[in-house]
Amino acid sequence: MRLGTVALTGAAGNIGTVARKALRDEAERLILLDRVPLRPEAANEEARTVDLRDAAAVEAALAGADQVVHLGGVPDEAPLPELLDVNVLGTHNVLEAARRTGIDRVVLASSNRVTGFHPVGHHTDPEDPVRPDGLYGVSKAAIEALGRLYADKFGLSVICLRIGSFEPAPTEPRHLATWLSPRDAIGFVRAALTAPPTVRFATAYAVSANTRRFWQVPDPAVLDYAPVDDAELHAPAIPGADHPADPTAPQAGPYALPEFTLRHLAP
């Protein structure tokens, strides 16, 4: 399916770089947005430098887009004011620009860290209550709530992808459950962009087909992509992979430790 004009925020980031290479072969036009300058690498690319906190700049940068893949933001634990300023306010600016300019679909990059305190032994579904493992997870729960609001109140089509551990290959025991390969990441993004217009709002875990995963893969009726990579193939090279996981431990692993957040709180 040929895509129309797709805007990609956070285009210079890890996932954005991979998504850019894939989507420029499928989109009629690809608008690249980031706070760092980018150069077009194909005839159908346009690069725009923008700060997501600037509502007017975001709206101007998204002009002419049919769909948005919103990957931009602070990617990990940080002080709450910074997360609210960039992740939450930035996402609001993207959604508001979409509403004002008539964009059909917004794909929001959420995170598995929204539910990090569910135990490893629990097979977590997007309908389960949020249990953020830190301030970053709180910010992602907030952007999901914003997406739901804009879908319910203004009729935008919003799909939130709870992204797993995006790595070229799994490197630690937790990744055996949480890994998201580059190939599967693109598969999920593509499926979110091409989901039927009747999908008004959805939240889905973007995770590879890991034998040990503890998240529910999406219903094909909502997001028609079946992941193909399995972290288990890499297990022999990962120290500690043969140790059984504690089913009562948080899915977030070390991200759930108090120390992970305490260093971002005022003394």
Question: Which amino acid would we find at residue 179?
Answer: W
Instruction: Enumerate the β-bridge partners of residue 202.
Output: 159
Q: Which of 155, 133, 158, 154 is nearest to 144 (CA)?
A: 158
Dihedral sign (CA 69, 70, 72, 76): negative
What distance in Å separates the CA atoms of residue 228 and residue 29, rounded to the nearest whole number? 28
74-81, long-range: CB < 8 A, 24+ apart: 74/136, 74/139, 75/13, 75/14, 76/136, 77/134, 77/135, 77/136, 77/255, 77/260, 77/261, 77/264, 78/135, 78/136, 78/264, 79/135, 79/264, 79/265, 80/135, 80/138, 80/139, 80/264
Active site residue 150: no
Please pick, among 136, 150, 225, 255, the residue that the annotation labels catalytic.
136
Q: Measure Cα distances from 215 to 77, 166, 263 in Å.
A: 21, 15, 29
What distance in Å separates the CA atoms of residue 115 and residue 256, rounded to the nearest whole number? 10
DSSP assignment letter at 40: -
Active site residues: 136
